[in-house]
């Protein structure tokens, strides 16, 4: 494997960690919301995010079979924006009480910023690097990974639209 494959493997594994945190945040907030429609929509995003985390982990292992990454390594790979996004997700998980509609409006705003970061980062960094690997390493069928990544990006865009819908349901 090339250094490029190893680097993309790190990006993907760190994306796995980030998506896992996001999924837990959405799942947790869904449990704190009384409105069944909003609870369902947040649960939908959580399930998608758990699926994304698993896909990223599997892709990372394919590109770098012996990958070993710590959160500190992810800051080096993704930069401080990765750590900020993880901390934002963790702050959502720390909420213990029911979420009022007013508080939910504030949370949804934060989640919209989070989704924008995630979709933009996946699109610009990982996607571009996968295309380079496709050109450089013809032995791997990375076209499948590229397709899955495109689906994840579509899902992330859908998550932003779902959050907009939730926002429109709030006073």
Q: Give, to the nearest 10 degrees, the angle between helix 127-136 and helix 3-32.
A: 150
The fraction of the chain above a pLDDT of 70, given in percent, is 82
Q: Write the pLDDT tens digit of every residue in 80-128.
A: 877 887 887 788 788 778 877 777 887 888 787 777 766 666 655 665 5
Give the pLDDT confidence score for residue 120 in this predicted structure. Answer: 64
Q: Supply the pTM of this predicted model.
A: 0.82
CA distances from residue 72 to 56, 60, 78 in whole angstroms, order as listed? 18, 17, 10
**Cα–Cα distances in angstroms (integers) from residue 104 to residues 18, 115, 150, 169, 171, in the given order:** 22, 16, 30, 11, 10
pLDDT tens-place string over residues 11-68: 888 888 888 988 998 999 999 998 999 999 999 999 999 999 999 898 888 878 888 8
- Measure CA 19 to chain center: 3
User: Is residue 144 pLDDT above 90, yes or no?
Assistant: no
Is the Cα torsion angle 132, 133, 138, 143 positive or negative in sign?
negative
Give Cα separations from 71 to 62, 75, 79, 110 (angstroms). Answer: 20, 7, 11, 22
- What structural domains does the chain harbor? 3-169 (1.20.1260)
- Here the tokens at position 150 are 């495109």
d(CA 94, CA 98): 12
């Amino acid at each position: 494997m090339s250094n490029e494959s190893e680097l993309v493997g790190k990006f993907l594994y760190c994306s796995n960690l980030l998506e896992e945190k996001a999924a837990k945040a959405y799942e947790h907030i869904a449990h704190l919301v009384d409105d069944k429609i909003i609870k369902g929509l947040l649960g939908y995003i959580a399930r998608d995010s758990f699926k994304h985390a698993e896909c990223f982990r599997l892709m990372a292992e394919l590109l770098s079979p012996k990958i070993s990454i710590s959160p500190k390594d992810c800051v080096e790979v993704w930069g401080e924006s990765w750590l900020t996004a993880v901390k934002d997700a963790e702050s959502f998980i720390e909420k213990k009480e029911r979420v009022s509609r007013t508080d939910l409006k504030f949370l949804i705003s934060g989640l919209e910023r989070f989704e924008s970061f995630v979709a933009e980062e996946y699109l610009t960094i990982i996607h571009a690097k996968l295309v380079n690997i496709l050109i450089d390493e013809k032995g791997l069928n990375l076209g499948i990974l590229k397709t899955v990544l495109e689906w994840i990006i579509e899902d992330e865009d859908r998550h932003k639209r779902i959050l907009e819908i939730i926002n429109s349901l709030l006073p």
